[in-house]
Amino acid sequence: MPLFLRALNHSANHSAVPNTLIFNSLATKGANIMDEKIAKLKEWIDGSDNIVFFGGAGVSTESGIPDFRSVDGLYNQQYKYPPETILSHTFFLSETEEFYRFYRTKMLALDAKPNAAHLKLAEWEREGKCRAVVTQNIDGLHQKAGSKEVLELHGSVLRNYCMRCRKPYPVEDIAKGTGIPRCSCGGIIKPDVVLYEEGLDSYTINKSVDYISKADILIIGGTSLAVYPAAGLIDYYRGNKLVLVNKSPTPADRRADLVIHAPIGEVFSQL
């Protein structure tokens, strides 16, 4: 074998082991850092009775509900109209039947079950630790897990009402029907969710601000903090234990006191 090939072969044989060791060392170091972060979060939680949780779509994806803005989410699938258009107030009024065709297929997940994050938050509330859950989700899984003080910024698919007489209707009536759901009075039934072009409920906003501004610990979980005005609510936090748990980086990472990049259910199951 020529000398230069021997040299290359020798180098390759000797560099493979160190590279493996380096990789393993980095993986171990990363796992240790993650363990330290979770231990720190647990320590904070154990010592607090004033926790507020602010959550987004990532909390529900682990229950099988798609995230609009993830790579595999609804926003990256193909429809006759983009979901942003379908889920707007204007489209609901002008193309109501098409709205409901999409809504029944893509927005209702009535068989979804609460995951580790939902269950842990409900447990903390029962223990007197979690004061409120402020959520951007509309699936009702926090209540299904047992949480009582849930502030739904974008409403809930579980509530529906007649636009004419305001009579309430359960979600089952919407799910099992076809076409445009109508009230006994003849009015169109609308889901109690905040569509694009609609404003958030002022009472829900004010109550969320009150809880967040007085919180000892604010845990932000499963959200890219891209949806405003909801994402702006975290600016009202005045404490020094701002925790951010999300699979990917967010604009608030740099101001958080503790950042954990991991699935929220995986993290909460260790607390």
Pairing status of strand 150-152 against strand 258-260:
unpaired
- Give the H or E element holding residue 155: strand 155-162
Q: Catalytic annotation on 154?
A: yes
The helix/strand/coil state of 124 is helix
Long-range contacts formed by 203-210: CB under 8 A, 24+ apart: 204/151, 204/152, 204/153, 205/153, 205/229, 205/233, 207/132, 207/151, 208/132, 208/134, 208/151, 208/153, 208/233, 209/233, 209/236
Radius of gyration of the chain (CA): 23
Neighbours of 30 (CB within 10 A): 10
Q: Tokens 């630790």 map to which residue?
A: 129
Structure tokens, 170: 């359960």
CA dist., res. 267 & res. 271, Å (int): 7
Which residue in 10, 142, 154, 261 is the catalytic one?
A: 154
CA dist., res. 49 & res. 142, Å (int): 19
Tell me which residues are annotated as active site: 154
